[in-house]
Structure 1
Protein backbone atom coordinates (compact mmCIF):
# COMPACT_ATOMS: atom_id res chain seq x y z
CA UNK A 1 0.00 0.00 0.00
CA UNK A 2 2.86 2.39 0.81
CA UNK A 3 4.40 1.85 -2.63
CA UNK A 4 1.03 2.39 -4.27
CA UNK A 5 0.64 5.72 -2.44
CA UNK A 6 4.10 6.69 -3.63
CA UNK A 7 3.09 5.79 -7.18
CA UNK A 8 0.01 8.01 -6.86
CA UNK A 9 2.23 10.93 -5.84
CA UNK A 10 4.60 10.24 -8.74
CA UNK A 11 1.67 10.00 -11.15
CA UNK A 12 0.33 13.34 -9.91
CA UNK A 13 3.74 14.91 -10.56
CA UNK A 14 3.90 13.44 -14.06
CA UNK A 15 0.33 14.32 -15.08
CA UNK A 16 0.07 17.80 -13.59
CA UNK A 17 1.78 20.95 -12.39
CA UNK A 18 0.97 20.14 -8.75
CA UNK A 19 4.19 20.23 -6.67
CA UNK A 20 5.05 16.90 -5.05
CA UNK A 21 7.63 16.54 -2.22
CA UNK A 22 11.01 15.25 -3.37
CA UNK A 23 10.84 12.45 -0.79
CA UNK A 24 8.47 10.54 -3.06
CA UNK A 25 11.19 10.29 -5.72
CA UNK A 26 14.02 8.90 -3.63
CA UNK A 27 15.42 5.91 -5.48
CA UNK A 28 12.98 6.41 -8.36
CA UNK A 29 14.33 5.74 -11.88
CA UNK A 30 11.75 7.90 -13.68
CA UNK A 31 10.04 4.98 -15.41
CA UNK A 32 6.24 4.83 -15.58
CA UNK A 33 5.76 1.12 -16.26
CA UNK A 34 4.50 0.57 -12.71
CA UNK A 35 3.48 4.12 -11.83
CA UNK A 36 0.80 4.06 -14.55
CA UNK A 37 -1.31 1.78 -12.35
CA UNK A 38 -2.03 4.83 -10.17
CA UNK A 39 -3.14 7.13 -13.01
CA UNK A 40 -6.91 6.93 -12.23
CA UNK A 41 -6.43 7.91 -8.58
CA UNK A 42 -3.97 10.60 -9.61
CA UNK A 43 -6.46 11.93 -12.14
CA UNK A 44 -9.12 12.22 -9.47
CA UNK A 45 -6.78 14.20 -7.20
CA UNK A 46 -5.62 16.42 -10.05
CA UNK A 47 -9.14 17.57 -10.99
CA UNK A 48 -10.35 17.92 -7.41
CA UNK A 49 -9.71 21.71 -7.41
CA UNK A 50 -11.74 22.09 -10.62
CA UNK A 51 -14.58 20.00 -9.18
CA UNK A 52 -14.61 22.12 -6.01
CA UNK A 53 -14.71 25.33 -8.04
CA UNK A 54 -17.54 23.97 -10.20
CA UNK A 55 -19.63 22.80 -7.25
CA UNK A 56 -19.06 26.01 -5.28
CA UNK A 57 -20.01 28.27 -8.17
CA UNK A 58 -23.18 26.29 -8.82
CA UNK A 59 -24.06 26.40 -5.12
CA UNK A 60 -24.04 30.22 -5.23
CA UNK A 61 -26.24 30.20 -8.36
CA UNK A 62 -23.57 31.06 -10.90
CA UNK A 63 -24.47 30.62 -14.54
CA UNK A 64 -23.89 26.92 -15.43
CA UNK A 65 -21.89 27.66 -18.58
CA UNK A 66 -19.69 30.20 -16.83
CA UNK A 67 -19.11 27.75 -13.97
CA UNK A 68 -18.21 25.03 -16.47
CA UNK A 69 -15.72 27.25 -18.29
CA UNK A 70 -14.09 28.36 -15.04
CA UNK A 71 -13.83 24.75 -13.87
CA UNK A 72 -12.15 23.79 -17.15
CA UNK A 73 -9.82 26.77 -16.75
CA UNK A 74 -8.74 25.55 -13.33
CA UNK A 75 -8.34 22.01 -14.65
CA UNK A 76 -6.21 23.20 -17.57
CA UNK A 77 -3.97 25.24 -15.28
CA UNK A 78 -3.59 22.28 -12.93
CA UNK A 79 -2.64 19.85 -15.70
CA UNK A 80 -0.55 22.37 -17.61
CA UNK A 81 -2.74 21.57 -20.65
CA UNK A 82 -0.75 18.34 -20.97
CA UNK A 83 -3.53 16.29 -22.54
CA UNK A 84 -4.88 19.18 -24.63
CA UNK A 85 -1.42 19.54 -26.14
CA UNK A 86 -1.47 15.86 -27.06
CA UNK A 87 -4.90 16.21 -28.62
CA UNK A 88 -3.92 19.18 -30.78
CA UNK A 89 -0.64 17.61 -31.93
CA UNK A 90 -2.39 14.33 -32.75
CA UNK A 91 -5.13 16.11 -34.68
CA UNK A 92 -2.57 18.05 -36.69
CA UNK A 93 -0.51 14.95 -37.42
CA UNK A 94 -3.34 12.62 -38.36
CA UNK A 95 -5.24 15.34 -40.18
CA UNK A 96 -2.37 16.80 -42.17
CA UNK A 97 0.03 13.87 -42.55
CA UNK A 98 -0.25 11.98 -45.81
CA UNK A 99 1.73 9.05 -44.43
CA UNK A 100 3.10 7.79 -41.10
CA UNK A 101 6.44 9.56 -41.35
CA UNK A 102 4.90 12.91 -42.25
CA UNK A 103 2.28 12.59 -39.50
CA UNK A 104 4.98 11.94 -36.87
CA UNK A 105 7.00 14.86 -38.19
CA UNK A 106 4.00 17.20 -37.87
CA UNK A 107 3.25 15.94 -34.36
CA UNK A 108 6.80 16.76 -33.29
CA UNK A 109 6.37 20.37 -34.44
CA UNK A 110 5.34 22.60 -31.52
CA UNK A 111 3.38 24.94 -33.77
CA UNK A 112 -0.38 24.41 -33.88
CA UNK A 113 -2.25 23.98 -37.15
CA UNK A 114 -5.84 24.15 -38.28
CA UNK A 115 -6.71 20.60 -37.21
CA UNK A 116 -5.16 21.10 -33.80
CA UNK A 117 -6.94 24.41 -33.23
CA UNK A 118 -10.27 22.91 -34.28
CA UNK A 119 -9.74 19.94 -31.97
CA UNK A 120 -9.08 22.21 -28.99
CA UNK A 121 -12.12 24.38 -29.71
CA UNK A 122 -14.34 21.32 -29.95
CA UNK A 123 -12.81 19.76 -26.82
CA UNK A 124 -13.42 22.77 -24.59
CA UNK A 125 -16.78 23.52 -26.20
CA UNK A 126 -18.18 20.00 -25.85
CA UNK A 127 -16.93 19.56 -22.29
CA UNK A 128 -18.25 22.94 -21.22
CA UNK A 129 -21.63 22.28 -22.84
CA UNK A 130 -21.87 18.86 -21.18
CA UNK A 131 -20.95 20.20 -17.74
CA UNK A 132 -23.40 23.07 -18.09
CA UNK A 133 -26.17 20.64 -19.01
CA UNK A 134 -25.35 18.45 -16.01
CA UNK A 135 -25.46 21.55 -13.80
CA UNK A 136 -28.95 22.41 -15.01
CA UNK A 137 -30.34 18.99 -14.09
CA UNK A 138 -28.37 17.94 -11.00
CA UNK A 139 -27.50 19.22 -7.56
CA UNK A 140 -24.17 21.11 -7.50
CA UNK A 141 -22.37 18.28 -5.70
CA UNK A 142 -23.62 15.65 -8.14
CA UNK A 143 -22.64 17.76 -11.14
CA UNK A 144 -19.15 18.20 -9.69
CA UNK A 145 -18.84 14.45 -9.20
CA UNK A 146 -19.01 14.03 -12.97
CA UNK A 147 -15.67 15.86 -13.27
CA UNK A 148 -14.05 13.48 -10.79
CA UNK A 149 -15.48 10.32 -12.34
CA UNK A 150 -14.57 11.17 -15.92
CA UNK A 151 -11.06 12.17 -14.86
CA UNK A 152 -10.44 8.75 -13.31
CA UNK A 153 -12.09 6.87 -16.17
CA UNK A 154 -10.26 8.70 -18.95
CA UNK A 155 -6.89 8.19 -17.30
CA UNK A 156 -7.55 4.49 -17.08
CA UNK A 157 -8.31 4.57 -20.80
CA UNK A 158 -5.03 6.26 -21.60
CA UNK A 159 -3.12 3.50 -19.77
CA UNK A 160 -4.89 0.87 -21.86
CA UNK A 161 -4.07 2.77 -25.08
CA UNK A 162 -0.44 2.99 -23.96
CA UNK A 163 -0.32 -0.73 -23.18
CA UNK A 164 -2.20 -1.92 -26.29
CA UNK A 165 0.11 -0.28 -28.85
CA UNK A 166 3.86 -0.48 -29.39
CA UNK A 167 5.85 2.74 -29.41
CA UNK A 168 5.65 4.55 -32.74
CA UNK A 169 8.95 6.32 -32.03
CA UNK A 170 11.66 4.30 -30.23
CA UNK A 171 13.38 7.57 -29.27
CA UNK A 172 10.16 9.29 -28.15
CA UNK A 173 9.20 10.46 -24.67
CA UNK A 174 6.59 7.71 -24.23
CA UNK A 175 9.15 5.05 -25.15
CA UNK A 176 11.76 6.43 -22.76
CA UNK A 177 9.20 6.49 -19.93
CA UNK A 178 8.59 2.76 -20.29
CA UNK A 179 5.50 0.88 -21.37
CA UNK A 180 2.94 -0.09 -18.69
CA UNK A 181 3.23 -3.69 -17.56
CA UNK A 182 0.25 -6.03 -17.83
CA UNK A 183 -0.41 -5.99 -14.09
CA UNK A 184 -0.17 -2.20 -13.98
CA UNK A 185 -2.63 -1.87 -16.85
CA UNK A 186 -5.11 -4.22 -15.18
CA UNK A 187 -4.86 -2.37 -11.86
CA UNK A 188 -5.38 0.93 -13.64
CA UNK A 189 -8.54 -0.36 -15.33
CA UNK A 190 -9.84 -1.85 -12.08
CA UNK A 191 -9.23 1.44 -10.26
CA UNK A 192 -10.86 3.45 -13.04
CA UNK A 193 -13.88 1.17 -13.07
CA UNK A 194 -14.20 1.09 -9.28
CA UNK A 195 -13.95 4.85 -8.89
CA UNK A 196 -16.46 5.45 -11.68
CA UNK A 197 -18.96 3.04 -10.15
CA UNK A 198 -18.60 4.56 -6.68
CA UNK A 199 -18.99 8.10 -7.98
CA UNK A 200 -21.50 7.86 -10.81
CA UNK A 201 -23.98 5.23 -9.63
CA UNK A 202 -25.18 7.06 -6.47
CA UNK A 203 -25.19 10.51 -8.09
CA UNK A 204 -26.51 9.85 -11.59
CA UNK A 205 -27.90 6.32 -11.46
CA UNK A 206 -27.01 2.93 -12.86
CA UNK A 207 -28.28 3.57 -16.44
CA UNK A 208 -26.00 6.62 -16.71
CA UNK A 209 -23.12 4.58 -15.32
CA UNK A 210 -23.59 1.77 -17.84
CA UNK A 211 -23.94 4.20 -20.75
CA UNK A 212 -20.81 6.09 -19.65
CA UNK A 213 -18.70 2.94 -19.37
CA UNK A 214 -19.94 1.62 -22.71
CA UNK A 215 -19.35 4.88 -24.57
CA UNK A 216 -15.90 5.38 -23.10
CA UNK A 217 -14.90 1.81 -23.94
CA UNK A 218 -16.03 2.27 -27.54
CA UNK A 219 -14.23 5.62 -27.82
CA UNK A 220 -11.01 4.13 -26.45
CA UNK A 221 -11.23 1.12 -28.77
CA UNK A 222 -11.81 3.14 -31.94
CA UNK A 223 -9.27 5.84 -31.06
CA UNK A 224 -6.64 3.18 -30.42
CA UNK A 225 -7.54 1.33 -33.59
CA UNK A 226 -7.29 4.49 -35.68
CA UNK A 227 -3.90 5.38 -34.22
CA UNK A 228 -2.72 1.82 -34.86
CA UNK A 229 -3.78 2.12 -38.49
CA UNK A 230 -2.20 5.53 -39.06
CA UNK A 231 0.95 5.41 -36.92
CA UNK A 232 1.45 1.71 -36.12
CA UNK A 233 1.97 2.65 -32.48
CA UNK A 234 1.45 5.18 -29.71
CA UNK A 235 3.24 8.40 -28.88
CA UNK A 236 2.98 10.69 -25.87
CA UNK A 237 0.63 12.83 -27.94
CA UNK A 238 -1.75 9.99 -28.79
CA UNK A 239 -1.87 8.96 -25.13
CA UNK A 240 -2.95 12.49 -24.22
CA UNK A 241 -5.41 12.59 -27.10
CA UNK A 242 -6.99 9.35 -25.86
CA UNK A 243 -7.56 10.93 -22.45
CA UNK A 244 -9.26 13.93 -24.05
CA UNK A 245 -11.42 11.86 -26.38
CA UNK A 246 -12.60 9.65 -23.53
CA UNK A 247 -13.26 12.59 -21.21
CA UNK A 248 -15.36 14.25 -23.90
CA UNK A 249 -17.24 11.03 -24.63
CA UNK A 250 -17.98 10.28 -20.98
CA UNK A 251 -19.09 13.82 -20.09
CA UNK A 252 -21.35 14.06 -23.12
CA UNK A 253 -22.86 10.67 -22.36
CA UNK A 254 -23.60 11.58 -18.75
CA UNK A 255 -25.17 14.85 -19.89
CA UNK A 256 -27.47 13.00 -22.27
CA UNK A 257 -28.52 10.57 -19.53
CA UNK A 258 -29.75 13.12 -16.97
Structure 2
Protein backbone atom coordinates (compact mmCIF):
# COMPACT_ATOMS: atom_id res chain seq x y z
CA UNK A 1 0.00 0.00 0.00
CA UNK A 2 2.43 2.70 -1.21
CA UNK A 3 2.10 6.19 0.28
CA UNK A 4 2.79 9.35 -1.69
CA UNK A 5 4.67 11.51 0.83
CA UNK A 6 3.83 14.67 -1.12
CA UNK A 7 0.17 14.11 -0.28
CA UNK A 8 0.43 13.20 3.40
CA UNK A 9 -0.63 16.70 4.49
CA UNK A 10 -3.95 15.96 2.75
CA UNK A 11 -6.32 13.50 4.33
CA UNK A 12 -8.27 13.36 1.06
CA UNK A 13 -7.35 14.54 -2.42
CA UNK A 14 -9.71 14.13 -5.37
CA UNK A 15 -8.77 14.85 -8.97
CA UNK A 16 -11.27 15.05 -11.86
CA UNK A 17 -13.53 12.41 -10.31
CA UNK A 18 -16.38 11.14 -12.46
CA UNK A 19 -19.02 8.50 -11.89
CA UNK A 20 -21.35 7.20 -14.61
CA UNK A 21 -23.89 4.39 -14.29
CA UNK A 22 -26.04 2.60 -16.85
CA UNK A 23 -29.80 2.86 -16.36
CA UNK A 24 -32.80 1.70 -18.40
CA UNK A 25 -32.85 5.14 -19.97
CA UNK A 26 -29.15 4.99 -20.86
CA UNK A 27 -25.99 6.36 -19.24
CA UNK A 28 -26.41 8.65 -16.24
CA UNK A 29 -23.49 10.80 -15.11
CA UNK A 30 -23.74 11.25 -11.35
CA UNK A 31 -20.43 13.06 -10.69
CA UNK A 32 -18.97 15.42 -13.28
CA UNK A 33 -15.28 16.03 -12.65
CA UNK A 34 -15.00 16.59 -8.88
CA UNK A 35 -11.83 18.19 -7.48
CA UNK A 36 -11.33 18.37 -3.73
CA UNK A 37 -8.54 18.69 -1.18
CA UNK A 38 -9.24 18.10 2.53
CA UNK A 39 -6.45 18.66 5.05
CA UNK A 40 -5.77 16.37 7.99
CA UNK A 41 -8.00 17.34 10.92
CA UNK A 42 -10.25 19.55 8.80
CA UNK A 43 -14.05 19.37 9.03
CA UNK A 44 -16.03 19.60 5.80
CA UNK A 45 -19.78 19.54 5.21
CA UNK A 46 -21.32 18.57 1.88
CA UNK A 47 -24.76 20.05 1.28
CA UNK A 48 -27.17 19.63 -1.60
CA UNK A 49 -30.59 18.32 -2.59
CA UNK A 50 -31.45 14.62 -2.69
CA UNK A 51 -30.17 13.00 -5.86
CA UNK A 52 -27.37 15.53 -6.35
CA UNK A 53 -24.61 12.94 -5.83
CA UNK A 54 -23.63 13.55 -2.19
CA UNK A 55 -23.93 9.95 -0.99
CA UNK A 56 -22.28 8.65 -4.17
CA UNK A 57 -19.29 10.92 -3.50
CA UNK A 58 -19.12 9.79 0.13
CA UNK A 59 -19.07 6.14 -0.92
CA UNK A 60 -16.27 6.79 -3.41
CA UNK A 61 -14.18 8.74 -0.88
CA UNK A 62 -14.51 5.86 1.58
CA UNK A 63 -13.39 3.30 -1.04
CA UNK A 64 -16.80 1.61 -0.97
CA UNK A 65 -17.31 2.20 -4.69
CA UNK A 66 -15.10 2.67 -7.77
CA UNK A 67 -15.13 5.83 -9.89
CA UNK A 68 -15.56 5.75 -13.66
CA UNK A 69 -12.47 7.96 -13.96
CA UNK A 70 -10.32 10.28 -11.88
CA UNK A 71 -8.27 9.65 -8.76
CA UNK A 72 -8.89 9.60 -5.02
CA UNK A 73 -5.99 9.68 -2.56
CA UNK A 74 -6.85 8.78 1.03
CA UNK A 75 -4.18 9.57 3.63
CA UNK A 76 -1.51 9.51 0.92
CA UNK A 77 -2.68 6.25 -0.67
CA UNK A 78 -4.05 6.27 -4.25
CA UNK A 79 -7.18 4.12 -4.23
CA UNK A 80 -6.80 3.21 -7.91
CA UNK A 81 -3.65 1.26 -7.01
CA UNK A 82 -5.47 -1.02 -4.56
CA UNK A 83 -7.43 -4.22 -5.10
CA UNK A 84 -10.61 -4.89 -3.11
CA UNK A 85 -8.78 -6.69 -0.31
CA UNK A 86 -6.36 -3.79 0.08
CA UNK A 87 -9.22 -1.29 0.07
CA UNK A 88 -10.90 -3.25 2.85
CA UNK A 89 -7.67 -3.19 4.85
CA UNK A 90 -7.34 0.56 4.30
CA UNK A 91 -10.88 1.16 5.52
CA UNK A 92 -10.26 -0.95 8.60
CA UNK A 93 -7.06 0.94 9.43
CA UNK A 94 -8.00 4.52 8.59
CA UNK A 95 -11.76 5.04 8.19
CA UNK A 96 -14.88 5.09 10.35
CA UNK A 97 -18.54 5.82 9.60
CA UNK A 98 -21.55 7.31 11.33
CA UNK A 99 -24.90 6.72 9.63
CA UNK A 100 -28.30 8.38 9.93
CA UNK A 101 -29.89 5.02 10.76
CA UNK A 102 -27.23 4.23 13.42
CA UNK A 103 -26.44 0.80 11.88
CA UNK A 104 -25.98 -0.92 15.22
CA UNK A 105 -26.13 -4.73 15.43
CA UNK A 106 -29.52 -5.48 17.03
CA UNK A 107 -28.37 -8.62 18.83
CA UNK A 108 -25.29 -7.01 20.43
CA UNK A 109 -25.24 -4.85 23.55
CA UNK A 110 -23.99 -1.27 23.46
CA UNK A 111 -20.62 -2.47 24.76
CA UNK A 112 -20.40 -5.25 22.18
CA UNK A 113 -21.32 -2.88 19.34
CA UNK A 114 -18.48 -0.54 20.29
CA UNK A 115 -16.04 -3.41 20.80
CA UNK A 116 -16.77 -4.97 17.41
CA UNK A 117 -14.56 -2.80 15.13
CA UNK A 118 -11.79 -2.77 17.73
CA UNK A 119 -11.76 -6.55 17.89
CA UNK A 120 -11.79 -6.83 14.10
CA UNK A 121 -8.84 -4.43 13.94
CA UNK A 122 -6.87 -6.33 16.58
CA UNK A 123 -7.00 -3.52 19.16
CA UNK A 124 -5.65 -4.68 22.51
CA UNK A 125 -7.94 -4.36 25.54
CA UNK A 126 -10.97 -3.77 23.29
CA UNK A 127 -13.35 -4.33 26.19
CA UNK A 128 -11.71 -1.73 28.42
CA UNK A 129 -11.44 0.80 25.59
CA UNK A 130 -15.07 0.30 24.63
CA UNK A 131 -16.17 0.87 28.23
CA UNK A 132 -14.06 4.04 28.37
CA UNK A 133 -15.56 5.31 25.09
CA UNK A 134 -19.10 4.69 26.32
CA UNK A 135 -18.30 6.46 29.59
CA UNK A 136 -16.99 9.36 27.53
CA UNK A 137 -20.28 9.71 25.66
CA UNK A 138 -22.30 9.42 28.87
CA UNK A 139 -23.45 5.81 28.48
CA UNK A 140 -21.44 4.03 31.14
CA UNK A 141 -24.74 2.97 32.72
CA UNK A 142 -26.02 1.43 29.44
CA UNK A 143 -23.27 -1.08 28.67
CA UNK A 144 -25.51 -4.16 28.65
CA UNK A 145 -28.49 -2.59 26.87
CA UNK A 146 -29.49 -3.72 23.38
CA UNK A 147 -30.15 -1.05 20.71
CA UNK A 148 -33.94 -1.53 21.02
CA UNK A 149 -33.64 -0.59 24.70
CA UNK A 150 -31.95 2.73 23.87
CA UNK A 151 -33.42 6.01 22.64
CA UNK A 152 -32.44 7.37 19.22
CA UNK A 153 -30.01 9.81 20.81
CA UNK A 154 -28.44 7.05 22.89
CA UNK A 155 -28.08 4.80 19.84
CA UNK A 156 -26.30 7.56 17.95
CA UNK A 157 -23.95 8.08 20.91
CA UNK A 158 -23.11 4.37 20.77
CA UNK A 159 -22.42 4.84 17.06
CA UNK A 160 -20.09 7.77 17.82
CA UNK A 161 -18.20 5.72 20.41
CA UNK A 162 -17.91 2.88 17.90
CA UNK A 163 -16.64 5.26 15.21
CA UNK A 164 -13.87 6.73 17.37
CA UNK A 165 -12.63 3.62 19.21
CA UNK A 166 -10.08 2.75 16.50
CA UNK A 167 -8.83 6.36 16.27
CA UNK A 168 -9.59 6.75 12.54
CA UNK A 169 -7.74 9.16 10.30
CA UNK A 170 -10.99 10.03 8.53
CA UNK A 171 -14.57 9.91 9.76
CA UNK A 172 -17.43 9.95 7.25
CA UNK A 173 -20.88 10.87 8.56
CA UNK A 174 -24.03 10.53 6.44
CA UNK A 175 -26.84 12.65 7.92
CA UNK A 176 -25.67 11.88 11.48
CA UNK A 177 -28.50 13.88 13.09
CA UNK A 178 -31.17 13.19 10.47
CA UNK A 179 -33.20 10.78 12.62
CA UNK A 180 -33.05 12.88 15.79
CA UNK A 181 -35.14 15.73 17.10
CA UNK A 182 -33.57 19.19 17.25
CA UNK A 183 -32.46 19.02 20.89
CA UNK A 184 -30.88 15.57 20.59
CA UNK A 185 -29.39 16.51 17.21
CA UNK A 186 -27.61 19.51 18.73
CA UNK A 187 -26.21 17.41 21.58
CA UNK A 188 -24.98 14.72 19.18
CA UNK A 189 -23.33 17.44 17.06
CA UNK A 190 -21.61 18.83 20.18
CA UNK A 191 -20.22 15.41 20.96
CA UNK A 192 -19.17 14.70 17.38
CA UNK A 193 -17.22 17.93 16.96
CA UNK A 194 -15.68 17.71 20.42
CA UNK A 195 -14.30 14.24 19.76
CA UNK A 196 -13.29 15.27 16.23
CA UNK A 197 -11.18 18.14 17.56
CA UNK A 198 -9.66 16.16 20.41
CA UNK A 199 -8.63 13.31 18.09
CA UNK A 200 -7.54 15.50 15.12
CA UNK A 201 -9.72 13.25 12.98
CA UNK A 202 -10.69 14.53 9.55
CA UNK A 203 -14.48 14.85 9.38
CA UNK A 204 -16.48 14.75 6.17
CA UNK A 205 -20.23 14.85 6.65
CA UNK A 206 -23.22 14.88 4.31
CA UNK A 207 -26.20 16.81 5.60
CA UNK A 208 -29.28 18.82 4.66
CA UNK A 209 -28.93 20.80 7.91
CA UNK A 210 -27.24 24.17 7.30
CA UNK A 211 -26.90 24.75 11.06
CA UNK A 212 -24.90 21.54 11.39
CA UNK A 213 -22.91 22.34 8.25
CA UNK A 214 -21.93 25.76 9.59
CA UNK A 215 -20.13 24.10 12.49
CA UNK A 216 -17.65 22.66 9.99
CA UNK A 217 -14.61 24.65 8.85
CA UNK A 218 -15.81 24.44 5.24
CA UNK A 219 -19.14 23.99 3.51
CA UNK A 220 -19.40 22.55 -0.01
CA UNK A 221 -22.51 22.28 -2.15
CA UNK A 222 -23.24 19.41 -4.52
CA UNK A 223 -25.57 20.29 -7.37
CA UNK A 224 -26.19 18.16 -10.46
CA UNK A 225 -23.00 16.21 -9.91
CA UNK A 226 -20.74 19.24 -9.46
CA UNK A 227 -19.12 20.45 -6.25
CA UNK A 228 -18.59 24.09 -5.29
CA UNK A 229 -17.43 26.00 -2.22
CA UNK A 230 -20.27 27.55 -0.25
CA UNK A 231 -19.89 31.03 1.17
CA UNK A 232 -21.62 30.69 4.50
CA UNK A 233 -20.98 32.04 7.96
CA UNK A 234 -19.08 29.45 9.95
CA UNK A 235 -19.93 28.65 13.55
CA UNK A 236 -17.16 26.56 15.05
CA UNK A 237 -18.31 27.24 18.60
CA UNK A 238 -18.21 23.99 20.53
CA UNK A 239 -20.62 23.74 23.42
CA UNK A 240 -19.99 21.06 26.03
CA UNK A 241 -21.46 17.68 25.21
CA UNK A 242 -24.44 16.95 27.43
CA UNK A 243 -26.30 13.77 28.29
CA UNK A 244 -29.00 12.94 25.75
Q: TM-score, normalised by structure 2?
A: 0.35
More strand by share: 2
Greater helix percent: which structure?
1
**TM-score normalised by L of structure 1:** 0.33
